[in-house]
Amino acid sequence: MNNKGVITRGMAILAALILIIVLAIVIIINVGKSTNVNKYKSFEKELVTGAQNYYVIKNLDIDEGEEKKITLKTLSDSNLVYSDLKDKCDGYVIITNEEDLSSDKYELVYNAYIKCGRKYMTANYSEY
């Protein structure tokens, strides 16, 4: 008897098992990447909070339309950043005194930028 071209129950089970394993691997990889991105986004928020505290502690003066850069090293040396990522990443916060067009007043805007090797880099990060 020639069984060529016939799919047996065992072959179907094996194919389904392989498919399930491949899908599980893909899901695990994507969940890991998502967790890492969240970790870096959380670190960016920590840098902004540290820069806000640094601004108050150092009584910085930023003129209208001006910007100041505070480095991760400065925040770390001032004990304003606590994450273990501080030793694995480079970064800075730009504080800009921008005009709010709806109220004609100026307000401070904080933007954090980090680069953590080849694993993560904030959009518009600059080496300057």
41-93 pLDDT, tens digit per residue, is 999 999 999 999 999 999 988 888 899 999 999 999 999 998 777 768 899 99
Whether the model clears a pTM of 0.95, i.e. scores above it, the answer is no
Say if residue 52 is exposed, middle or buried (CB neighbours under 10 Å; 0-12, 13-18, 19+): middle
Check: CB of residue 111 under 8 Å from CB of residue 92.
Answer: no
Q: At 17, which helix (H) or strand (E)?
A: helix 9-57
Distance CA 104, CA 32 (A): 44
Check: CB of residue 125 under 8 Å from CB of residue 101.
Answer: no
Instruction: Give CA 16 to chain center in angstroms.
Output: 37
Mean pLDDT of the chain: 86
Beta-bridged to residue 97, according to DSSP, are: 108
